[in-house]
Amino acid sequence: MTSNLSHLVNTIWADAQGNLKDLLANSIHSYILADVVRAEGILLQIKECFEKKDEKLKTLSEEFYSIIKLKKNNNVLDNAKIISRMFDLCQVVKDVVGVSESTNWKTIPSLNAKYKALGCNIKELHYEALVHFIRGLLLPKVVVDQHGGERTDVGMLGNGIYFASAASTCIKYSKPSQTSGSRFMLLCELNLGKTKVKKHIVEFKLASDNVHHTLNNDVSEDEGIESDFDSESELSIKDVDSVQDPLSKVVSGLQSSTNQPVPLTAVHIRAKLQEFSSEKLMFKNIICSFEAFINGKHIVGKVKEKEQARKEYKEAIQQGHGAYLMEEQEESPDVFTVTVGNLPPNSDVLIKITYVAELSLEDDQISFSLPGCVAPWVKDQALATKMQKTATKAVVKMNDPLGTSFQLLIALAEIHVPRMWVQKSPQDSDKQACMLSFFPEFDGDIGDHEVIFLIDASNSLKDHFIELQKLVYLTYEKMPQSTKFNMVIFNDTYKELFPYSRFKDESKQQVMSLLKLLKNCNGGTHLWSVLKMIEMLSCESTMKNVFLFSDGHIFDEISTLARIRNLKKNVRLFTFGVGTTPNKHILQKMACLGSGYFEYFDKNAKSKWQKKVELQLEKCQQPVLTNIKIHWIQHDEDAPKPLQAPNEITTLFNGNRLVVYGFVPHCTMANLSAILNGKELNTIVSTSELSTTVGLTIHRLAAKSVINDWNDGMLHQDQYKHEAIKAEMKGKIIQLSIEYSIVTKFTSFIAVEERE
């Protein structure tokens, strides 16, 4: 790299870092991309509130400043100019944080790392005749009106880009660099108003410029990361393969404050099955009712915001009252704990818990199961085996011991026919919840296929490379022997395991050698260039399944998504999320655009890794429905817009069921559309007014589905709008939890027994 080019790179880098140091209260290295994206989502809310003159501006501004901390001027974002500047600031922070991955997170990065971070090709050219100088940019009116931009020229010729042949005309529009004091001017060769390829950057200073900061041109070398997996050892996956589910170790029944078992007199279970859902008086899934009977008193629990519920529980205990608190465990949302306070001695207490659940499918049969984890089954009290049945009713009594669980399998005559259920609220007939079940059956043969492992070896995964190694190796081990595959590790560049795909047989040593390279994770996540290579080498006669192992923090998101959109029909992308702070939104979006599926592999839930890997391998051998859309047909033009979950439907593979919920008033019909092998499919699903039921079961399932979608789904294709919608919906999520008595991470059940 020449001295002039080195100077230019250092100037650009120092200016970007210098501006942020003057503005930000925290170091730029303390930010992560997920937080910056969340801040941009808040800015979108602020922009909408500003246009509507909403009173939430102060609260939203404080929320923004809690993420992007400034040294000064933490004023309310109440004008277009300031809002636009904050958008620009977020973009610069994102750029610097993103490219810091390419510079190996060094305070003094190497010159080559800085050059790579710019993401463009700059070369020094010898002197050529200077033809035209850019005159400056006259901002379009929309920039001035909506973004508070300021024009540098009143302009006589309208909005647009102007050119001049005199350097003196351009100089007055330039500003000196804060670090080097230099000004820059772009030279272009013009041909009938169209810019040709040749562009030149000219650096200059004026006598009046008094900025004399010194650029830091020190070079630091990157250091590798040591691994516990060396060249002589073999990578162990014992902690991720066939791992016992931690929930199986949970001690059942009631425990005292000293973890001593408290014997339960009896456990009674009553269940009501309604099509694909069930309502049970038991303890699991969507808890919707909590009651306690003690010494002749009936106490009914209420759902309240978690902090308020904890406060009331603590106050009740201090005042000598009885209290019951039910909460969802943050680590395991399917596990709930009930805390009982001030239980009198020698008292008979009956705790009644009601929950609703969506029934699962096993081999085309509906499965209704009861686990034995609430309390051990009393085997000597099991019922005798008897069966009585008519055309519409069957009674089954069991004689044999139940063991550890109970399961009832129900076969439907036409399980693959789309179904729709509608339920009105008993409190308000205008409130209506709908449930759609779509379980298509189509040709399951995709012919020859191969698997390409794309393994992210960038800097953002340097602290997770062991998990990454184990996940890739686990997937390789579970892959069928007859599968052709190849592996590619990538960061700024990429390295292939084989020149072409090979069968799995006798490839173990080569795979181990490649995975050892992950101990030196560094550089950026330049995924788009690898996808370009795959697209160029793909053969239309063979299905190519791409397995991407990444945290989703990719460089040049726009180019990457465009490359995925342009993939051939025989190339599909499956994403495997790793790391503690993955960008789940972009991983879901890439899988959706690539006609694949997304799974996140949490290091704290390794017992689920094997099952998730097996599901991905199963899906990659099946045809897939894409572009799935649902149009709810409402009979009232003034009806509110449907609230659907999941909001963005990704893909549906053969043998999988899609269940969609919606709060949709005045609706008994929906149109489902999808694309299979390039052909559009449409089907109408409906129910009659006579089949409409009254109750809360589907309402609660719909509410829980909306809450789950808010937590883990994709609310909008655009990530900034996704974050904005998520922030706006938080109040709605809490309101749904309270209205339908659902325990979530924001809410808890609280019941207080007042005593004299």
Q: Name the DSSP class of 638.
A: T
Residue 671: what pLDDT? 94
The string of pLDDT tens digits covering residues 519-538 is 887 777 888 888 888 877 77
Residues 306, 318 within the same domain:
yes
Six-digit token string for 111: 């010159």
The CATH code of the domain that includes 38 is 1.20.142.10
Instruction: Tell me, yes or no, whether 471 and 438 share the same domain.
Output: no
Can you give the pTM of this predicted structure? 0.71
- Encoded tokens for 610: 């094997």
Residue 521 covered by a domain: yes
By DSSP bridging, strand 571-577 and strand 598-600 are parallel
User: Is 694 a residue whose pLDDT tops 70?
Assistant: yes
Structure tokens that stand for 235 in this block: 């990578």
* Positive or negative: CA dihedral 114, 119, 123, 124: negative
Q: Is residue 647 part of a domain?
A: yes
- Segment holding 90, helix H or strand E: helix 80-100
**Total count of domains within the chain:** 4
pLDDT at 644: 94
- Characterize the bridge pairing of strands 667-676 and 624-634: antiparallel
Q: Alpha helices, DSSP H only, in 444-556?
A: 465-478, 508-516, 527-537
In angstroms, the first-to-last Cα distance of the chain is: 85
**In this predicted model, what pLDDT tens digit does every residue of 391-432 receive, in sequence order?**
666 666 665 555 556 777 887 777 788 889 999 999 888 899
Boundary (domain end) residue, out of 603, 622, 641:
622
C-alpha distances in Å from residue 432, one per residue of 646, 649, 670, 700, 702: 17, 21, 14, 11, 10
Q: Are residues 108 and 8 in the same domain?
A: yes
Label residue 331 by pLDDT band (50, 70, 90). Answer: low
Whichever domain contains 522, its CATH number is: 3.40.50.410
The residue whose two tokens read 């004399």 is: 212
Whether omega for the bond prior to residue 640 falls within 30 degrees of 0, making it cis, is: no
Residues 328 and 358 in one domain: yes
Residue with tokens 């019909």: 669
Whether residue 608 sits in one domain with residue 673: no
Q: Let me know if residue 211 belongs to a domain.
A: no
Q: What are the residues facing 521 on neighbouring strands? A: none
In a domain, 616, yes or no: yes
Q: Which pLDDT belongs to residue 223?
A: 37
Mean pLDDT of 103-126: 61
Of 567, 593, 622, which marks where a domain is finished?
622
Q: For residue 305, what pLDDT band results from cuts at 50, 70 and 90?
A: very high
At 672, which CATH number? Answer: 2.60.40
Distance (Å, whole) CA 325 – CA 336:
10
Q: Do strands 494-496 and 502-503 pair parallel, antiparallel, or not at all (unpaired)?
A: unpaired
Q: Does residue 597 share a domain with residue 481?
A: yes
- 453 and 304 housed in the same domain: no
Q: Could you give the CA distance from residue 421 to residue 659 in angstroms, rounded to a whole number?
A: 11
Poorest-pLDDT segment among 8-12, 66-70, 466-470, 700-704 = 8-12
Q: Can you read off the two tokens belonging to residue 424? A: 């009105």
Alpha-helical segments (H) within 103-232: 111-117, 141-147, 167-171
Separation CA 644–CA 695 (nearest Å): 19
Q: Is residue 151 part of a domain?
A: no
Domain contains 169: no
Same domain, 592 and 647: no
Q: Above 50 in pLDDT, residue 221?
A: no
For 284, 292, 503, 738, the CA distances from 749, given in Å and listed in that order, are 14, 12, 55, 10
Q: What pLDDT is stored for residue 282 in this prediction?
A: 37
Same domain, 489 and 599: yes
Same structural domain for residues 367 and 335? yes
Nearest-10 Cα torsion for 86, 87, 92, 97? 100
Question: In sequence order, what DSSP letters do the residues of 545-605 get, joined into one string?
Answer: EEEEEE-S--S-HHHHHHHHHTS-TTEEEEEEE-SSS--HHHHHHHHHHTT--EEE--TT-
Query: Does residue 157 lie in a domain region?
Result: no
Domain final residue, candidates 597, 622, 647: 622
Distance CA 516, CA 233 (A): 10
pLDDT one-digit tens code per residue, 479-511: 998 889 999 999 888 889 998 888 887 788 899
Q: Is residue 145 part of a domain?
A: no
pLDDT digits 0-9 by tens, 587-605: 998 998 899 999 999 888 8
pLDDT tens figures, 635-645? 888 888 999 99
Q: Indicate whether 587 and 633 sit together in one domain.
A: no
| Percentage of residues in the chain having pLDDT higher than 70 | 75
Residues 413 and 399: beta-carbon distance below 8 Å = no
Range of the domain at 653: 419-443+625-739
Contact indicator for 446, 622 with CB cutoff of 8 Å: yes
Please state the rounded mean pLDDT for residues 126-142.
Answer: 39
Using DSSP's 3-state secondary structure scheme, residue 20 falls into helix
113 three-class SS: helix
> What stretches of 328-374 show up as alpha helix (H) in DSSP?
none
Tokens standing for 31? 């930010």
- Whether residues 720 and 601 fall in one domain: no
